[in-house]
Copies of this chain bind each other. A is one copy, B any other.
Amino acid sequence: VRTGNLLSLSGAGPTWGGKAMSGQVGAEYTVEQGYEAARLCTLNLLSATRSALGSLDKVKQVVKVLGMVNSAHGFSQQPAVINGCSDLLVQLFGQSGRHARSAVGMAGLPGNIPVEIEIILEVE
């Protein structure tokens, strides 16, 4: 949904090409697998952005990232997981890809996906 120059995207999971992931980070998935999952979430968010705007060139600034990690009891490395999103955004957009972020642990996510990410973008 766009309001003014802000584009708010629904939370995206790591589904890709019909392949689904199911499980918690710190149990079924390692931090490294969580990082890859966060990267897939981000690709899905970018795909939705391109659908909404026609082109990723219209992204002026990534404003805010809420990175939600389906966390096994005692798991506390959420930032290392959500870096899979942040690293990709900075690789793609440079300084404009830098963002305010929270990386936090959830008790559960839809379909038991390991990571879900929502972002807000400033757009042309």
Contact between chains at A61 and B1 (CB < 8 Å):
yes
Contact between chains at B104 and A108 (CB < 8 Å):
yes
Assuming the contacts A1-B64, A63-B1, asked whether A105 and B107 have C-beta atoms less than 8 A apart, the reply is: yes
Contact between chains at B76 and A108 (CB < 8 Å):
yes
Interface size in chain A (residues, C-beta < 8 A): 44
Nearest CB in chain B: distance from A121 CB, A: 9
Q: Which of B11, B101, B106, B122 contacts A106 (CB 8 A)?
A: B106
A42 contacts the other chain (CB 8 A): no
Q: Which 8 A-B pairs have the closest CB atoms?
A: A105-B108, A11-B102, A71-B108, A8-B100, A107-B107, A76-B112, A3-B122, A105-B107
Q: A70-B105, A105-B108 are in contact. List 9 more A-B contacts (CB 8 A).
A: A1-B63, A1-B100, A3-B122, A4-B4, A8-B120, A76-B111, A78-B110, A105-B106, A105-B109
